[in-house]
């Protein structure tokens, strides 16, 4: 049973494991901390906490999915009883591990993915990232949590993998859930392919769709290194807002999380 007493909350100190706090779109560190302290950290599974703390020591730590977004994703995965999922952009694996912990435990073995013909009745995650080194930072924690058998990590750019999956008609409409957290320039390309792979009623969730709040700022106010991705995110947001194949909810969790539900 989780204890929400004030003594318990006071004992939770914020240390180095919150490199993502600057992303908070609530524009208030205090409010973001309040949400984490009262509702997120007390319920964060211990393997995720360990992975977050290990990731905090890595120079790319700001890329990790924020724990509040993770909590929301875990809830979505359970609400739709997701079994088969796709993850684009793994980094050290925070969102991957939370997905593995949230789907049922009857996963298939890793070897079954190799011919890209997927059985439809077992839990599994296809996780794609060209950077295996960062995945290997989190891998020991994933193994210790006993969920590695649910993960098929593919070291690759995502588009060729999605295209290969689509070459097999059996894969169409066979996934329950997809999480996209990679190169923003390809969000619309991922969206088109995932709409074929995810079933009607399934979810495709895109991270960073408010891009640090820059989507609502004039371009000249945005730093050069953020401009190209900002343009891609704005184009993506405009496109999904009129896409009749999906229902959407853009939530101000973390850096913005757009939840798309396929309806046709």
Which residues would be at the binding site for ligand SAM (CB under 6 A)?
Answer: 63-65, 88-92, 94-95, 128-131, 134, 157-158, 181-183
Among 207, 212, 214, 261, the residue binding Ca ion under the rule CB under 5 A is 207
Residue 50 contacts Ca ion per CB under 5 A: no
CB of 181 to Ca ion, least distance (A): 4
Q: Which residue has the tokens 């794609």?
A: 128
Cβ nearer to ligand SAM, comparing 71 with 92: 92
Cβ nearer to ligand SAM, comparing 158 with 203: 158
Residue 181 contacts Ca ion per CB under 5 A: yes
Cβ nearer to Ca ion, comparing 18 with 181: 181
Cβ nearer to Ca ion, comparing 176 with 181: 181
Residue 208 contacts Ca ion per CB under 5 A: yes
Cβ nearer to Ca ion, comparing 100 with 182: 182
Question: Which of the choices Ca ion, ligand SAM, none does residue 44 contact, using the CB cut-off of 5 to 8 A by kind?
Answer: none
Among 163, 88, 95, residue whose Cα is nearest residue 127: 88
CB of 9 to ligand SAM, least distance (A): 25
Residues in the chain: 264
Residue 129 contacts Ca ion per CB under 5 A: no
CB of 141 to ligand SAM, least distance (A): 12
CB of 57 to ligand SAM, least distance (A): 14
DSSP string, the chain: -----HHHHHT----SS-GGGGG-TTS-HHHHHHHIIIIIGGGS-HHHHHHHHHHTTSTTGGGSPPHHHHHHHHHHHHHTT--EEEEE--TT-HHHHHHHHHS-S-BPPGGGGGGS---SSSBEEEEE-S-HHHHHHHHHHHHHTT-GGGEEEE-S-HHHHHHHHHHSGGGTT-EEEEEE-S-GGGHHHHHHHHHHHEEEEEEEEEE-TTGGGGGGS-GGGS-HHHHHHHHHHHHHHHHHHT-TTEEEEEE-STT-EEEEEE--
CB of 101 to ligand SAM, least distance (A): 13
- Contact present, 88 and 178 (Cβ < 8 Å): yes
Question: Which of the choices Ca ion, ligand SAM, none does residue 176 contact, using the CB cut-off of 5 to 8 A by kind?
Answer: none
CB of 94 to ligand SAM, least distance (A): 4
Q: Which residues bind Ca ion (CB under 5 A)?
A: 181, 207-208
């Amino acid at each position: 049973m989780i204890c929400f007493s004030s003594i318990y909350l006071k004992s939770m100190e914020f240390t180095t494991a919150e490199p993502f706090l600057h992303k908070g779109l609530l524009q208030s560190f205090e409010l973001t901390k309040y949400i984490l302290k009262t509702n997120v950290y007390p319920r964060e599974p211990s393997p995720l906490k360990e992975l977050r703390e290990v990731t905090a020591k890595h120079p790319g730590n700001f890329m990790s999915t924020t724990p509040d977004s993770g909590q929301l994703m875990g809830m979505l995965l359970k609400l739709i009883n997701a079994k088969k999922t796709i993850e684009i952009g793994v980094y050290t694996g925070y969102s991957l591990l939370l997905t593995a912990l949230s789907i049922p435990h009857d996963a298939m073995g890793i070897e079954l993915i190799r011919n890209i013909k997927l059985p439809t009745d077992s839990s599994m995650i296809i996780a794609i990232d060209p950077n295996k080194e960062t995945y290997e930072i989190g891998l020991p924690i994933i193994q210790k949590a006993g969920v590695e058998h649910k993960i098929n990590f593919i070291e690759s750019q995502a588009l060729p993998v999605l295209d290969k999956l689509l070459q097999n008609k059996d894969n169409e409409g066979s996934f329950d859930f997809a999480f996209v957290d990679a190169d923003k320039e390809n969000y619309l390309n991922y969206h088109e392919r995932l709409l074929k792979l995810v079933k009607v009623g399934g979810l495709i969730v895109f991270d960073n769709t408010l891009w640090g709040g820059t989507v609502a700022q004039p371009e000249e106010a945005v730093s050069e290194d953020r401009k190209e991705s900002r343009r891609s995110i704005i184009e993506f947001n405009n496109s999904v807002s009129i896409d009749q194949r999906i229902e959407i909810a853009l939530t101000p969790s973390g850096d913005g999380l757009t939840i798309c539900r396929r309806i046709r």
